């Protein structure tokens, strides 16, 4: 078992006040992506990058991270996973990585208390400024989360139909960028943002992920996420006043 009650899709995750961060433990943050695993910590804020890819397994991820962070000082672990999360573990196998993620023994392999969170939700948590915010992460795939007045709600919008029999992810994920070029990709990103912002009644949109920097000037109501958002979100995940962890809806 991991430390404290488990995160589940039906639970709420209420963000705590920033002052609590002063008393946070030292956290190792693992942000798993389709191209790289980014690893940082409370004491090492600049992430190191470890190659990932379509054959990466959970065991290989853990082995590579522990090898790369030998000598680091931390007592808790946050893991941003590119897919749905339930009971502090992946709920389904990832689309862009290898197999064996849902039944891996993370407790035995990691050796310290850990929490899983959807990777988009972790980035959203790190960049949240209040109110009702939609986060979209345009990297290898498409991550999505909404934070509604402090409650984090991970979404799975990537594989919903968009146009011409293709999904949102096929248009504005990495494959869509490579296939259609920057100009048409940017147009699709803005169109999808407008549709989702209207449908979800959001105050603003935080646009993150590795390809967000390609957007150039953004209209009002859309904020470009910082590279540090995922790391800050992973640290905030443990910023609780007691042993009771924050909960996901």
Q: What are phi and psi of 148, to 5 degrees?
A: -110, 100
Residue 34, both tokens: 């389709």
On whether the CB atoms of residues 37 and 50 are closer than 8 A, the answer is yes
Residue 211, both tokens: 């390809």
CA angle 185, 218, 39 (to 5 degrees): 75
Residue 44, both tokens: 């090492």
Residues present in the chain in total: 249
Residue pLDDT, tens place only, 34-57 = 889 999 999 999 999 999 999 999
Residue pLDDT, tens place only, 60-112 = 999 999 999 999 999 999 999 998 998 889 999 998 899 999 999 999 999 99
Residue pLDDT, tens place only, 134-150 = 999 998 889 999 999 98
* Average pLDDT across the chain, whole number: 88
Residues ≥6 apart with Cβ < 8 Å to 25: 42, 75, 76, 238
Query: What is the C-alpha separation between 29 and 45, in angstroms, rounded?
Result: 9
DSSP secondary structure letters along 35-86: SEEEEEESS--SPEEEE--TT--HHHHHHHHHHHTTT---SEEEEEESS-EE
On whether the CB atoms of residues 199 and 144 are closer than 8 A, the answer is no
Q: DSSP letter at 14?
A: B
pTM for the complete prediction? Answer: 0.82
User: Across-strand partners of 49?
Assistant: 38
């Amino acid at each position: 078992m991991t430390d404290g009650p488990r995160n589940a899709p039906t639970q709420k995750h209420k963000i705590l006040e920033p002052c609590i961060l002063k008393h946070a433990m030292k956290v190792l943050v693992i942000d798993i992506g389709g191209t790289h695993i980014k690893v940082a910590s409370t004491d090492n804020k600049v992430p190191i990058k470890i190659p990932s890819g379509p054959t990466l397994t959970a065991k290989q991820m853990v082995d590579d991270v522990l090898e790369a962070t030998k000598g680091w000082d931390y007592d808790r672990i946050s893991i941003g996973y590119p897919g749905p999360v339930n009971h502090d573990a992946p709920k389904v196998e990832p689309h862009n990585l290898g197999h064996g993620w849902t039944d891996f023994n993370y407790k035995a392999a990691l050796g310290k208390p850990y929490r899983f969170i959807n990777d988009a939700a972790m980035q959203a948590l790190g960049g949240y400024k209040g109110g009702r915010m939609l986060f979209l992460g345009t990297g290898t795939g498409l991550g999505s989360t909404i934070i509604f007045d402090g409650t984090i709600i991970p979404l799975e919008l990537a594989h919903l139909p968009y146009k011409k029999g293709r999904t949102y992810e096929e248009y504005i994920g990495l494959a869509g960028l490579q296939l259609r070029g920057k100009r048409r990709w940017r147009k699709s990103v803005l169109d999808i943002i407008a549709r989702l912002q209207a449908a979800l009644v959001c105050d603003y949109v935080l646009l993150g992920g590795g390809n967000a920097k390609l957007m150039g000037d953004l209209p009002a109501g859309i904020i470009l996420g910082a590279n540090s958002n995922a790391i800050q979100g992973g640290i905030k995940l443990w910023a609780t006043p007691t042993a009771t962890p924050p909960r996901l809806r």
